[in-house]
Structure 1
């Protein structure tokens, strides 16, 4: 007999599978039932429907088999539900160009929305210039440029191809563009398809001109540089902590230190990948390189959080008077790496499948990292991270209770000195709490923007939070580690304060000085740190 709780879990699991199946089927059916790609269609609801089912729209006759009833729209490549409306494959009969706003509206650069001209433009002279644009310059294959009537060559459509558009009036490249006869655009060093830009009148030096605004898929300005500088400093700090831990033999040989080294190495690789992607535009990278860098960052982030959980579990295991041998630890690390790589291939399969688009991660499509406009980042990134953090905090509570129940005269646990392992435990979970705070903030930001349908390309505050996290690692994983402090005192501080006067002409004198320095160093080390690390941690030279 199954309990009610188990039956409810089975029902939830079954409902999720059913939802996934219906999403896949509906998406596959959608791909089969429409006559052409959405980017080649125009809303013809205001057109004239003829007796044979065809439509007359903007001087073009669209056959009945090239029309269909749509209940969705695609903005930024993201499918979302809207009211039913008729669309026709007009762009397959004549090239289309998109206008950001309708003739009675103007694109507001600050809010990135369309507003009425009376709200957007003040002053009669400017508004008279911002009236109607019927002609545009077209570049042909032979290199000639001619001004043509837009309606003679193109189909006009008024739709939002993307939510965020790139505008930089101070950039000379922004004002240089070529529109081709097939509806594509050359600007900013690449070719843009008709669905990746829209035209709108832009005022520059009190003159209005028709300008194409391309979809913005990378961040610019001071926000980008705050993020990049913060991430770079965080990588340096994490790398410094990694180098220090690797330099100490007593740390390398211990289970806690070994796991910390792997954790810091994974974090540095993941952050380095994100830093590289932030510095490079999506269009500067090939699709394969873009996707691979995104998956590298994902794999090493997952490994780092798996390692945090393993460290937490190891503390609980040790305080229950159990100690895991070295070869078993390595098997656990390999299993964590294998699981992270498996998740990577699962994400690639989902991204390339016909599954409902909102369930895709979006890595390697418009962005090299997760697409925050989709639910995939929540399903495959935030949820696994919070599962790991939840397990880690559960092990923390269980370990704390185990410490509470230890006899007062306990000297060692699972072969470790009690003072040493308790110092590691408290320092690590202080750092883990900082990690939890940072990622709760990340999740809240994502969900708040997601439900308000305000999507961001780059959250520069995330870089500052990662920098703060690296500083907490410096404090709790290094400074609060007795083994690191002892090593630092004996190998760095001691030589600074007890450096002998060099007399290169007397080699025997130097040997005596070095020998006495070694003895003095050992005596000072034993005097200051023996209480913290116990007898077994003494030989740190």
Structure 2
């Protein structure tokens, strides 16, 4: 009995020792965490601090930094630095002081006498740079005054915001304007974004055309790409792929109109795919060969998309006016037109990009108005400047206007035909004519989807350019990105499309029935054509 008691007591003593060790370990970790927390300066943002490593320390714990005294309670130990994206990076422990709560600060990317190396995020040189440090500063009361930023506390030891900096310079492009406030906040004019000192920095740049050769300009990083539209476009790609398969599978879509629609959906899918690749950052190395290939391929696909959309309405206009009906070479001519014109657009864009191959730090920023800028901000054409209207949205707008013109002419022709036929046709034929009118109304809804939505894309660009109603911009972008889903519902989720698919899959009807089924046509097919064209198309098939 006693022996068993002593064994049990020994077990209890071992358990107590283990518990005490664990408590001591936990207390050690807790102490380290408390020490780390206490090391930071309470109530002071990291980007309001300065490095005090080389500053004089007084016996009472106060530091002298430049011409100000930083009290002991505004001083702390830091073993990390915060990057522009909010991540913490470990660094050797050093002392920092909350100087910006005592006096206004201005942030430099590097030492004021060094230059920032573009694309590398490092500073080089230590020469006597001759530049003016006087900038327009907006004070707390809203007044704008010229002040020498060297009168502020110069923060030059913060981590460089990002590797590939973008420069803001309103000298040649008002869209690149900016406003610097006394509290260190900088407002970027092209999107109205308020940038803290974490998101931008000042640094002199080489400017050969300037009187002083160097100019003080803010450098910033673009905000991370919003991926909501990319996810919507991914769903659209899936829906568009189904539409293409159905158009290739069913004999209903073998006419010229159906083939043009198939080409349109294919080009739209390719353009969405390129945009998704860029949006998800799968190719983030700008100015690389694959980056240029994706940017120019996406541009080519976009231009071809709108050209096919134009030909869809052009073909319907010719059909309803009995122009060139039954010509088998028409689709081949359409292909030559689309791919050639899209290639011309691409060639002009490429030439402009290479002809205006300039360094933004050394040349007149006016040059960028004429530079498409593929690869400048991302592996896509530059959509942040006025140049997008010249090379991207301008041609698209022109094609949409032509597209709308053909549609209006076709609509007027259909209404005139229906009005005349009501007086001449028999009751059964009149009912058939009214069915054509119904088909036209469905076709009109389709045009609204694939045509007018693109107007929203251009309006969205203009709103972004002039910083107008960002909520409207987001809605328009989401609607444009979701075109694949909308087109899928309008063109596929219909009885006269689903029924032929089901019949062909299960093979429940004979070849005669299948042939009869192939002559029935869904909304986007030759049911929109007048009787003479339907007869010709049926003979061709």
Question: Under a length normalisation based on structure 1, what TM-score does the superposition of the two structures give?
Answer: 0.52
Q: Secondary structure at the match of 2:227?
A: helix
Residue matched to 2:397: 386
What are the within-5 Å matches in structure 2 for residues 403-418 of structure 1?
403-406=414-417, 407-408=421-422
Residue matched to 1:321: 322
Alpha-carbon distance in structure 1 between the residues aligned to 2:437 and 2:352 = 44
Residue matched to 1:466: 480
| CA pair 210-357 structure 1, distance change in 2 beyond 3 A | closer
Alpha-carbon distance in structure 1 between the residues aligned to 2:199 and 2:415 = 70
| CA pair 379-423 structure 1, distance change in 2 beyond 3 A | farther
Alpha-carbon distance in structure 1 between the residues aligned to 2:106 and 2:302 = 52
Alpha-carbon distance in structure 2 between the residues aligned to 1:436 and 1:346 = 25
Q: Tell me by how many angstroms 1:304 deviates.
A: 1.0
Q: Tell me by how many angstroms 1:467 deviates.
A: 3.9
What are the within-5 Å matches in structure 2 for residues 491-506 of structure 1?
491=504, 495=506
What are the within-5 Å matches in structure 2 for residues 400-439 of structure 1?
400-406=411-417, 407-408=421-422, 425-439=440-454
Alpha-carbon distance in structure 2 between the residues aligned to 1:191 and 1:467 = 28
How big is each residue's C-alpha offset from its partner over 1:146-205, in whole Å with a ceiling of 9 and x where there is no partner? Answer: xxxx99998897599xxxxxxxxxxxxxxxxxxxx9x998776x5769999xxx9999xx
Alpha-carbon distance in structure 2 between the residues aligned to 1:389 and 1:451 = 22
Q: Establish whether residue 518 from structure 1 lines up as the match of residue 529 from structure 2.
A: no
Q: Tell me by how many angstroms 1:131 deviates.
A: 5.9
Q: RMSD value over aligned CA atoms?
A: 5.3
Residue matched to 2:353: 351
| CA pair 359-274 structure 1, distance change in 2 beyond 3 A | same
Q: Tell me by how many angstroms 1:125 deviates.
A: 8.7
What are the within-5 Å matches in structure 2 for residues 250-269 of structure 1?
250-251=252-253, 253-269=254-270
Alpha-carbon distance in structure 2 between the residues aligned to 1:210 and 1:523 = 67
Tell whether the 8 Å contact from 1:358 to 1:375 is kept in structure 2 after alignment.
Answer: yes
Alpha-carbon distance in structure 1 between the residues aligned to 2:398 and 2:197 = 53
| CA pair 314-376 structure 1, distance change in 2 beyond 3 A | same
Counterpart pick for 2:380 among 352, 355, 369: 369
Q: Tell me by how many angstroms 1:303 deviates.
A: 0.7
| CA pair 261-218 structure 1, distance change in 2 beyond 3 A | farther
How big is each residue's C-alpha offset from its partner over 1:459-516, in whole Å with a ceiling of 9 and x where there is no partner? Answer: 654541134422321233334584x244234236xx4xxxxxxxxxxxxxxxxxx8xx
Question: Under a length normalisation based on structure 2, what TM-score does the superposition of the two structures give?
Answer: 0.52
Residue matched to 1:127: 101
Structure 2 segments unaligned to the other structure (5+ residues): 1-66, 69-82, 85-97, 115-124, 136-155, 170-181, 186-195, 202-217, 357-365, 427-431
Alpha-carbon distance in structure 2 between the residues aligned to 1:480 and 1:342 = 38
Residue matched to 2:308: 307
Aligned length: 348
| CA pair 394-125 structure 1, distance change in 2 beyond 3 A | closer
Q: Tell me by how many angstroms 1:399 deviates.
A: 1.5
Residue matched to 1:22: none
Alpha-carbon distance in structure 2 between the residues aligned to 1:254 and 1:315 = 12
Q: Establish whether residue 342 from structure 1 lines up as the match of residue 355 from structure 2.
A: no
Alpha-carbon distance in structure 2 between the residues aligned to 1:455 and 1:361 = 26
Q: Secondary structure at the match of 2:381?
A: coil
| CA pair 324-299 structure 1, distance change in 2 beyond 3 A | farther
How big is each residue's C-alpha offset from its partner over 1:60-112, in whole Å with a ceiling of 9 and x where there is no partner? Answer: xxxxxxxxxxxxxxxxxxxxxxxxxxxxxxxxxxxxxxxxxxx99xxxx99xx
How big is each residue's C-alpha offset from its partner over 1:325-377, in whole Å with a ceiling of 9 and x where there is no partner? Answer: 23232122222111101111101111222483212222222332232332221
| CA pair 491-218 structure 1, distance change in 2 beyond 3 A | farther
Tell whether the 8 Å contact from 1:427 to 1:477 is kept in structure 2 after alignment.
Answer: no
Q: Tell me by how many angstroms 1:309 deviates.
A: 1.0
Q: Tell me by how many angstroms 1:294 deviates.
A: 1.4
